[in-house]
Amino acid sequence: MNIILLLLLSLAGAGVQAADNVIQIAQEHIDNLGVKLGKPEPASQVPVLYAPAKIAIPPAREHIVSTAQAGLITKLYVAVGDKVEKGQALAEINSPDLLALQQQYLKAVNELELGRAVYNRDKKLLEEGVISGRRSQETRSQYQLYQTEAHEARQLLEMAGMSVGEINRLAKTQRLSSLLTLRAPMSGVVLERMAAAGQRIDNLAPLYRIADLSELWLEINIPQERIGDIHIGDQVLIDNTEVTARISLLGQSVNPENQTLLARAVIKGAPAAVRAGQKVNTRIIHGSDKAAFKVPNTAIAQNEGRAYIFIRTDQGFLVQPVTVIGRQDTDSIITGELTGAEDIAVTGSVALKANWLGLGGDE
């Protein structure tokens, strides 16, 4: 900095003059000061906040696969990381308890068939006047009871894990089997395996955790003093990726441990660059409703709490006040009376500020 001030002293009598908002300086002296020119870039998005976040799975897209029957695991068909389709076989269990449910179902089905035959016979006899209406009513009531029992027995098999096709095949063949196939309730990815082949398990024991990763959530910790700057619909960028998300929810309570609020953003499309459970750094972006421009941080000079840039003119530089509305890495987002066609000083603003304020001005 002392070198720059000494250089300015040497130029003080060599064509450098400063008015209130204009610095008159010849081109050769601009070169000596190391000033380089560039144009402000139009910016449609304004970085509002940098914040840590965790990638989470929406609860409705995660499922624990468990068995409704106790038994012995004979086969496991999938492993952690495998993609599965809805209805795909996951495991096979040998369950003696399943035999009892199948026997109960077959008994109910056979009684229903017999009850249907008796009901149809008595219905015909009633039409011919052979039997009384009372007897027909009793037959119909018994037939409805058989229907209820068969429906209940079928539901128990479905709850045990048998598919519709397997139950229909059982009713047709009348052949019992103690082997139960557990199937995926949804399409997704296996995140966790909780049992092993050869293991005996109780009913409702968990075997797999499966999740649909086509949609993920970003759970962002927002400092409570900044929550007013964040809005539903704001865009969120994840550092070192091209992944974007949108704010869908702002929390209504403050975490007492770190005094932050939860903001949730939705990630669509299962991008490969992020994983569930991952901790990431994020940038929250606002869309700008007025003309904004991106300039290097080195183009901005500060004085008495205000920001300025230096616009090249025929005589030197115009000192233009601007408002910094966001920062992103080595750049700042500004607004002001700009068109984007101006040539501005992107380096050397320190020397130009010294000229503008006078050699005794603060840096």
Region 267-296 average pLDDT = 85
Q: What is the pLDDT of residue 20?
A: 67
Lowest mean pLDDT among 54-58, 125-129, 166-170, 281-285: 125-129
Please state, in angstroms and rounded to a whole number, the distance separating the CA atoms of residues 80 and 65: 13
pTM (2 d.p.): 0.66
Q: What is the mean pLDDT of the chain?
A: 86
CA–CA dist 266, 247 (Å, integer)? 7
C-alpha distance from residue 18 to each of 13, 33, 38 (Å): 12, 15, 22
Instruction: Flag whether pLDDT at 278 surpasses 90.
Output: yes
Read off the pLDDT of each residue in 336-343 and give the average, rounded to a whole number.
87
Q: Specify the pLDDT at position 79.
A: 95
Is the predicted pLDDT of residue 24 greater than 90, yes or no?
A: no
User: Residue 291 has what pLDDT?
Assistant: 81
In degrees, rounded to 5, the angle at the alpha carbon of residue 315 between the alpha carbons of residues 309 and 319 is 20
- Other beta carbons within 10 Å of 2: 6
pLDDT in tens, 211-222: 999 999 999 999
CA–CA gap between residue 159 and residue 163 (Å, rounded): 9
Model confidence at 286: pLDDT above 90: no
pLDDT for the residue numbered 175: 93
d(CA 107, CA 170): 12
- Residue identified by tokens 């008595």 is 122
